[in-house]
Amino acid sequence: MLNRINTRIGANICLPDLGHTLCQRLLERPGLSLVDAQQVMRHRRITTSGYLRPRTDEVIAKVHEHYTRPKPPPRPLTGWSYGPDDLADVCGSA
């Protein structure tokens, strides 16, 4: 059947191409994880990761989101009480 379709439309599609397309479309869905796609594809191992093709606009948006996210305030250090003499011993005196 696939050969007849290829002849009719002038294409060269094979069964692995269809599986690849299915997996890519599954992974583009925000609610589905890599493990979900693995189960649908019936892969025993996470070979499905080879189908991951991040789109440039998605990568840029995620990196932008990361760098524009408010930074949490630094946590105060507790238990550190080096005196000036201790620091001079470790770092030398200036």
Per-residue confidence of the chain (94 residues) as pLDDT tens digits? 888 988 999 999 888 888 888 888 888 888 888 888 888 888 777 666 666 677 788 788 888 998 999 988 888 877 777 777 877 888 877 6
- Rounded to two decimals, the pTM is 0.46
Count the domains in the chain: 1
Of 30, 55, 56, 52, the C-alpha closest to 41 is 52
Task: Check residue 49 and give left, alpha or beta (phi > 0: left; psi -120 to 50: alpha).
Answer: alpha
Residue 8 lies in a domain: yes
Residue 91 lies in a domain: no
Q: Provide the domain limits for residue 62.
A: 2-67
Q: Which H/E stretch holds residue 68?
A: helix 56-68
Task: Check residue 72 and give left, alpha or beta (phi > 0: left; psi -120 to 50: alpha).
Answer: beta
16 residue type, one letter: P
